[in-house]
Structure 1
Amino acid sequence: MNGIPPLVDQYSRGTARGELGLGTFESHLGEAAGAAGPAPPGTTFFDSRAGLAVRRWCPPLLGLEAHCAPVRYLARRRELGAYRAGNLLLRGAGIGTFLLDAADPAALTSPAELARAAGGRAHEVVRLEALAGRVADACDGAGSFLALTAEALYDAAGSATAFASGVVSCDGSPPGAAEVCRAASRWLRRRRPGEPPDEPVLARHLLWTAVATGLPVQLHGPRTEDLTGFLRATAGLGVDLILLPGPGQHRGAARLAAAFPHVYADVGTRPEEPLREAPFGKLLFSTGARALAELYVVAARLFVRAMERLIGDWVADGWCRRAEAGRIAALVAAGTARRVYRLDAAAG
C-alpha cells in the first residue's frame, strides 16, 4: 500500500552533534536495544533487533548494500561526516514533521537544527521537569521558584506545540499550595545544579499547571493505568492528553484512549494491538528516537511495514476497501497528530 503520507513523529529527542566513535555509537544503539550498560566483552549491540534493523535499512541511504558489516557501515558514516550522514538518514526516513523534546540542548539537536537536517518541519515539546530544573538554577527559595516556574511555563505555552510530563501517578485534583511549597523547599535544599525535580508533589503541580494552559500534554510513564483518576478529572477541561506508555503497555494505553474523549495513545512502531483497542482517530505514531539518526529510519520503517501488513490483511479479509484502508493508515501516521497538535494552524 503506497498511500501512507509523510509521517508525523509525535515524540523524539533529536540527534547527537558531531562525530560518533564506535563506543559512543554502540552505547546509543544499546539504549535502543533496551540494554542498561555496555555490551559484554566480545559481543556487540549490532547483534540485537535494533542492530539488525539499522543494518537492514540504513546502509542503502549512505550508498552501501543492505546488511553490510558494521565496521564498513561506521567507516562510511565517518567518511561522509556526521552532518552529511545525518542529513541523508533523516531525509530518507519518510518523516515530514517532528515534535521534539529539546530537554538536552547541549548534547542533542534543537527543533530548528533537526528541521534543517531532515528537510522538514519541527516543533518543540517542552518537558515540564526540565523547565523547572532550569528555573531552579536561577532562583532561591520555594516561593521564588514556584512563581518563576509558573511564569516560565506560561511563557513557553506561547511558542511550544505541547508539554510533556514524566509523572508516574496523579490523582483527580491538584495538590494544595502549602503541600507544593513544602515539597519545593525539600527539593531545593538537596538538589544539585541542573537536576530536575524528583518530588512527586511537584510533578503533579507542574502537570496541573500545564493543563491550565490548554496546550496538549504528553504523559510519559511506565504504567498509564496509574493515571486513570487524572484522566477522568480532566475530561471537559478542553485539553488533549496523549499517553506515551512504557514497553508492553501500548494496548492498555489504547484502551484508556478509547474510554476518554480527550485522551489519545501512542502506538510506537507496532500498531497491531493498539488498533484493536481504540478508534483509529485516537492513535498516533512516534519514533521515540534519541541521538542516532538511524533510529528515526528504523522506527519509521518498522511502523510503515507493520501498518501496511495490518491494513493489507483487513482489505484481503473484506473488512474495508483499499481507499478506506489508506485513509485509516494516514490517520495514524499523520492525520491525528496534525489535528491534536494543531500543526496546520502552526504552519500557517
Structure 2
Amino acid sequence: MSLLDDVELIDHHCHGIVRMDLDRAGFESMLCEADGPGRWHGSLFDTHVGLGIRRWCAPLLGLPSLAPADDYLAARHQLGVDEVNRRLISSLPTRKFLIDTGFQPESLTSPSELAALAGGVGEEIVRLEQVAEHVATSTSAARFADDFRAELSRRCANAVGVKSVAAYRVGLRLDPARPTDGEVTDAAGRLLRAVESGAAARVADPVLTRFLIWSGADLGMPVQFHVGYGDADVDLADCDPLLLTPMIRALGELDVPVMLLHNYPFHRHAGYLAQVFDHVFVDVGLALHNVGPGAPGVLAELLELAPFGSVLFSSDAFGLPELYVVGTTVFQRSLAGYLEAGVADEAWTSEDARRFATGICRGNARRAYRLEDS
C-alpha cells in the first residue's frame, strides 16, 4: 500500500476539459506544449505523456495497459466524450479543483461541471489579463483603472485567487513599483488605440501588467504566476522565477501568498525562493507528466530547498481528462516514492512522512487559499 493511497488531493492549478469528440490531430494538439503532431517530430503519442495515457488511461476505457494509440482513440470515440470524461475524472482522488477560467472558457467545462464528475468542488482562479482585455472593449483610457478594479472585484467575489500570465506577455523581470495613475492611463491609451485600429485586446505592456498584479494583490488574494515551461508563445529565458524576486519582496508587504506554477526547468530556483520568502508557494505541476520517468528526480530537486509546507499539488491539466489522470498518477507515485525512501533511510519518521504528504496534497493549499475544510 502506498503512503498516498487514501490521501485526497486539492489540485491548486488546472483548467476545464473539452465537451466535444476529438479527431487524432485535435487530441494530439492537447497532449503537451507542442502545437500538434508535426512533419518532423511525428506523433505526440511518442512522448512521456502519450505513453502515460496508454499506460494509465487505457484500462479505465476497458483496454489493456499500453494499448496502441489507434486502439485507444477508437475506444474513446466509441464511448463518447461524456462517458470518457466521467470515467477518467471520477477515478481521481482529487476533491477540490482550483480552476483557471481565463483561457478558452467557452469550449471547456466550468469549475462546477468538472468537479461534479469527481464528486468534488470547483473553485475559480480569475486570470487578470482576461479581465483587463474584457474591460478594454468598453472603457476609456481615463476610466480604465477604475473600471478594471470594479470588474476584478466583481469577478473575484466567489473566486479564491488570481493569476498572471506575465511570463507570456512581458517576461518576469518586472519593476516591483506600483505604477502611478498617470502611467496606467497612458498605457491604457496605447492599448485602446490598438484596439480601435482593429487589433485584438491583448495586455502585453509592463506597466499594465504591474497594475493588474497589484490590483489582484490589493484584494488580499493569492497571486499565481506562470513560471518556466510553456508553449511556443513563451520565451523561456525570460521565465526564470529569480527575475520575480523584487516583485515577490514587494508583494510580501501585503502578506498575500505568491504561487509559482510549474517552474521547470527553474524548479531549484523556485525552491530557493520558497525557502527564503515565507509567502511563496511552489509546484512542478506541468512538468511531471511531461518528463515521465524523470518526475521523481524533478520533485526531489524542488524539495531540496523548498519547505514541505510551501509545496502544492497541481496537474495543470487542460482540455483532456487524460492529463488529469496522468498528472495525478505521476505526482502520487513520485511523492510517495520520495517520502517512503526517506523513511527507509531514517531521514524522517513514518509520522513525518504522513504529515508531509497530507500537507503537500491538500493542507498547504487549504492554508494558502483560505479554503473551507475539504
Relative to the length of structure 1, the TM-score reads 0.93
Q: CA deviation at 1:154?
A: 1.4
CA distance in 2, matches of 1:266, 1:2: 20
**Residue of structure 2 equivalent to 1:211:** 217
CA distance in 2, matches of 1:245, 1:70: 27
**Residue of structure 2 equivalent to 1:289:** 317
Is the counterpart of residue 174 in structure 1 residue 214 in structure 2? Answer: no
**Residue of structure 2 equivalent to 1:276:** 304
**Residue of structure 2 equivalent to 1:124:** 124
TM-aligned CA distance change 1:39 to 1:302, over 3 Å? same
Cα pair 1:224 1:245 within 8 Å, conserved: no
**Residue of structure 1 equivalent to 2:284:** 267
Q: CA offsets per residue over residues 110-130 of structure 1, 9 Å max, x none?
A: 101111222211100000001
Q: CA deviation at 1:41?
A: 6.7
What is the one-letter code of the residue matched to 2:134?
R
**Residue of structure 1 equivalent to 2:134:** 134
Cα pair 2:45 2:69 within 8 Å, conserved: yes
Is the counterpart of residue 63 in structure 1 residue 70 in structure 2? Answer: no
User: What aligned pairs does 1:33-112 form with structure 2 within 5 A after superposition?
Assistant: 34-40=33-39, 43-103=42-102, 104-112=104-112
Cα pair 1:180 1:201 within 8 Å, conserved: yes
**Residue of structure 1 equivalent to 2:192:** 188
**Residue of structure 1 equivalent to 2:235:** none
CA distance in 2, matches of 1:45, 1:3: 30
Of the three residues 332, 342, 366, the one matched with 1:338 is 366
**Residue of structure 1 equivalent to 2:256:** 239
What is the one-letter code of the residue matched to 2:206?
P
Unpaired stretches in structure 2, ≥5 consecutive residues: 167-171, 228-238, 289-294
What is the one-letter code of the residue matched to 1:2?
L
Q: CA deviation at 1:230?
A: 1.0
Q: Could you tell which deviates more after superposition, 276-285 or 39-48?
A: 39-48
What is the one-letter code of the residue matched to 1:312?
E
Relative to the length of structure 2, the TM-score reads 0.87
Of the three residues 299, 310, 313, the one matched with 2:327 is 299
Unpaired stretches in structure 1, ≥5 consecutive residues: none
**Residue of structure 1 equivalent to 2:236:** none
What is the one-letter code of the residue matched to 1:114?
L
Q: CA deviation at 1:340?
A: 0.8
CA distance in 2, matches of 1:201, 1:120: 39
Q: CA deviation at 1:247?
A: 2.6
Q: CA deviation at 1:68?
A: 0.5
Q: CA offsets per residue over residues 93-146 of structure 1, 9 Å max, x none?
A: 322211100112111111011112222111000000011111122x14212322
**Residue of structure 2 equivalent to 1:12:** 14
CA distance in 1, matches of 2:214, 2:53: 39
What is the one-letter code of the residue matched to 1:22?
R
Partner SS, residue 163 of structure 2: strand
Q: CA deviation at 1:194?
A: 5.5
CA distance in 1, matches of 2:200, 2:85: 29
What is the one-letter code of the residue matched to 1:130?
Q
Cα pair 1:245 1:253 within 8 Å, conserved: no
Q: CA deviation at 1:10?
A: 0.8
CA distance in 2, matches of 1:111, 1:62: 24
Q: CA offsets per residue over residues 242-276 of structure 1, 9 Å max, x none?
A: 11144301221111011111111113234211111
Partner SS, residue 302 of structure 1: helix
CA distance in 2, matches of 1:7, 1:49: 23
**Residue of structure 1 equivalent to 2:205:** 199
What is the one-letter code of the residue matched to 1:287?
S
Q: CA offsets per residue over residues 150-177 of structure 1, 9 Å max, x none?
A: 1011122321110001222323321111
Q: CA deviation at 1:241?
A: 1.1
Q: CA offsets per residue over residues 166-203 of structure 1, 9 Å max, x none?
A: 22232332111111111110111113576331111101
Identity of aligned residues (%): 38
Is the counterpart of residue 21 in structure 1 residue 20 in structure 2? Answer: no
TM-aligned CA distance change 1:2 to 1:245, over 3 Å? closer
The root-mean-square deviation of aligned C-alpha atoms, in Å, is 1.7
Partner SS, residue 154 of structure 1: helix
CA distance in 1, matches of 2:247, 2:71: 50
Q: Could you tell which deviates more after superposition, 240-249 or 85-94?
A: 240-249
Q: CA offsets per residue over residues 289-334 of structure 1, 9 Å max, x none?
A: 1111000100001101111111111011001122221111111111
What is the one-letter code of the residue matched to 2:266?
Q
**Residue of structure 1 equivalent to 2:243:** 226
Displaced runs of 4 or more, over 4 A: none
TM-aligned CA distance change 1:113 to 1:179, over 3 Å? same
CA distance in 2, matches of 1:155, 1:281: 31
CA distance in 2, matches of 1:169, 1:313: 38
